[in-house]
Amino acid sequence: MNKLWENPAFRIKVDSVAEIKLKELFDGLVMENLFALQERAVLNSLLDDAMPDDAFPLNDGECYCSYELRNDSKIIARVTTQIDIQDCRLSRGPIIIFHRKNGITNIDDPISLMKSLVQQAPEDVMPDLSGLDDFMHNLALSQAQSTWSAEYTDLIVQNCMQPKVELHHWEQLCALRDRPFHPLAKAKKGWAAEQFRQYSAETSDGFGLSWVAVNNKYLVGNKAIRGRVIAECLLTKSEQEVLWSECGVRSLDCNEYTLIPVHPWHLKSHMLQEFQKPIADDHIIVMAESLGLFYPTASGRSLIPAHQELLHVKLPLALQCLGALRILPPRYLFNGYQAQKMLLDVIARMSGFNDININLCDEHQWVAYLPEGESMLSNQSGYLSCLLRSYPNKENNLIPMAAFAVAVGDKVPALEWLYRQQEDERSFLDFSMGIFSAITKLLCQFSFHCFSFGLMPEVHGQNILVGFNRASLRQLTLRDHDTLRIFPPWIQQQQIPLQDYKMDWSTPNSLICLAPQQLLSYFLTLGVQVNLLSIADALSRSYGIPMEIFWEKMKSIIEELLNEMDIPVITKAILRKEIMDNKLWPSRKILSPCLIKRNRMMGMPNSVGSVINPFHRLSSLGAK
């Protein structure tokens, strides 16, 4: 197989995309202490004596990070040491390799950095690199696809500056950054440039779906949406007529079969080959191609019908993204509805949100093909399934939280758009911090309430939408419930009906937590270190606001909530100890697991690590 990362001709033009990916990789390597960077790297304000003083100058607030390689050479990067979850982050490229005899070599993209470490780092600090080929391929693919996305940046920002911005435009903006701080996030393994441009949220003009008919004998899920119901929900009247006409031509009985949409790339690349027998046996009948017009969301597999935006459809994609196949086994869909029921019970008992509405997308309407002899735990059935996601009535301007984490040049488009909606005359700086504070308080308050009942949704920025009436925060909407983590003893103690999850115990379980601290770790990692930190990072880089100010704001908000919220004492004690007092926070390693060879491609690879508690550092500075 041709290895993209080993091809000498592969060289992306050095621009902001390459520099962003270089930064993501460097920061991730430091955070996870790969190649013993935390122990071996040295921070100082002076260059090596053998280097010219003006060869690699510092800006204010920067220092050097030096790491000794083999063969009398070292890697030198310019970093910032602001209060954060790690000691330093790359401030700008390039990184250099300095050799006393051979001089300076620039590293201006992540592939070159990784190659240098793999080839020249000390042998005693080499990590497990059994999956290096796949890692490097995905790194190259992520950089290439980020470059393709960047071509659409101006158009996306322009759409997000209109007086009325549709949800799919915000989704396009979110897709520009994708999963924050993850250098492999853009890699959609299976899509070449043509497919990426056609089907990825930030580049797509929309596309039609393929439609199949599935014999009801082989379906599980909600019986109320069998037959024509899904098509009636997702297609316009004229589009429906095309499908009904095809049903007539084939004499298809819609009391016996259910019409289900399929992503067109997924049908051609996987289903036609893998489902040959059920197609030959008429368990599955391919009915139509390219019917309707749908816009992909940032996730890629959730799609918005062009004629209405309050009902989305989520479909399987046999595509590798973030190290996982994006298929939809029926257990995921079943568990999502069980989670929704528990969340509804908890939300009904929440208080203290004043005039802010907390609501959920309705995700109980789903069906999945289940072949004979397979169980609900089958992954094979995850290649043909469908979820209808219904949004609450739209009273406010809904924006995914992830949109506020996207910086373009020296602006955060979502914040710039919101600033135009305000009715008072606040300065932009005051407005920015006001919005950040409001979002932070709402996310933390909601998460702490959930935690007190023994639940924790996946509170990263793509799963939560915030609604604004002009520039006032009025709504939090949660979607994608199939990863609700639970701590059953607290759920039962609070007399919330405990729903049964369908679990594949042959794979690592992350839904059922064995301790409240494990449950809380999902807030600290996804809610703080991915969601809130990425927003703070975007605002800091765009508007020059020191990161310390954002951490101080988060700390004061959490302290205020812990003093004021009406939740059990034991809950507050655990929150205070784990968030405020401990010197370290749990973290999710994302690079280390991707460097290890994997045999299964279902869940996103990750493992548990730790990072610095920035609140503890703030307290230490205050004491001094």
Closest to 178 measured CA to CA, from 194, 214, 202, 209: 202
Average pLDDT over residues 184-188: 92
Closest to 361 measured CA to CA, from 301, 327, 428, 310: 310
Q: How confident is the model at residue 510 (pLDDT cuts 50, 70, 90)?
A: confident
- Give me the residues paired with residue 207 across strands: 294
Sign of CA dihedral 25, 28, 32, 37: positive
Amino acid identity at 294: F
The verdict on pTM exceeding 0.75 is yes
Q: How confident is the model at residue 48 (pLDDT cuts 50, 70, 90)?
A: confident
- Which pair of tokens denotes residue 499? 């729903």
pLDDT at 337 over 90: yes
* Ramachandran area for residue 84 (φ above 0: left; ψ -120 to 50: alpha; else beta): beta
pLDDT attached to residue 601: 53
pLDDT attached to residue 375: 86
Q: How confident is the model at residue 602 (pLDDT cuts 50, 70, 90)?
A: low
CA distance 447 to 451: 6
pLDDT at 93 over 80: yes
Instruction: Spell out the alpha helix ranges (H) of 186-299.
Output: 193-199, 229-234, 237-249, 264-266, 272-274, 276-280
Q: Give 541-562 pLDDT, tens digit per residue.
A: 999 999 999 999 999 999 999 9
Q: Give 197-229 pLDDT, tens digit per residue.
A: 999 999 999 999 999 999 999 999 999 999 999
CA distance 414 to 401: 9
b/e per residue 539-554 (b: at least 16 CB within 10 A): bbebbebebbbbbbbb
Residues 6+ apart with CB under 8 A from 134: 594, 597
pLDDT attached to residue 122: 96
pLDDT at 230 over 60: yes
Mutual angle of helices 167-177 and 413-421, in 10-degree steps: 150
CA distance 463 to 314: 14
3-state SS, residue 486: strand
pLDDT at 171 over 70: yes
Closest to 594 measured CA to CA, from 131, 262, 165, 51: 131
Higher pLDDT, 522 or 381: 522
Instruction: Spell out the alpha helix ranges (H) of 297-364.
Output: 330-348
3-state per-residue secondary structure call for 27-67 = HHHHHCCHHHHHHHCEEECCCCCCCCCCCCCCCCCEEEEEE
pLDDT attached to residue 101: 82
